[in-house]
Amino acid sequence: MASPEGADFGWLSWCTGNEFELHKLTKSFRFTISASASATVLQINSYNDLKSLPRVEASLLYSPLWECLDFEKMLDEGIDAVQLNLSNDPFSHDAEK
């Protein structure tokens, strides 16, 4: 998962607040999508934006309470990348309370 540099509440903040996979937070990466690229980047700004996305059945590796997105189907539908903007949705900040 990735979040924009300088985000008020990005992936690092979410993982820390939810004590999720903290041992993996020592690695990071940086990438840029050129403005001239013809990539389609889906912007997720709120929990409601997730409701219409395709799902796959959660595997045994994940909690049965989790919902797993079907990224392969999204790619087939023309979505090249997903940008999750956690900073925009107070719903995602619940772990901070």
- Over the stretch 22-67, which tens digit does the pLDDT of each residue have? 777 777 777 777 777 788 888 888 878 888 899 887 666 666 667 7
Phi and psi angles of residue 63, each rounded to the nearest 5 degrees, phi first = -65, 140
Q: Residue 90 — very low, low, confident or very high, per pLDDT cuts 50/70/90?
A: low
Mean pLDDT for the stretch of residues 3-8: 74
- Over the stretch 64-73, which tens digit does the pLDDT of each residue have? 667 788 989 9
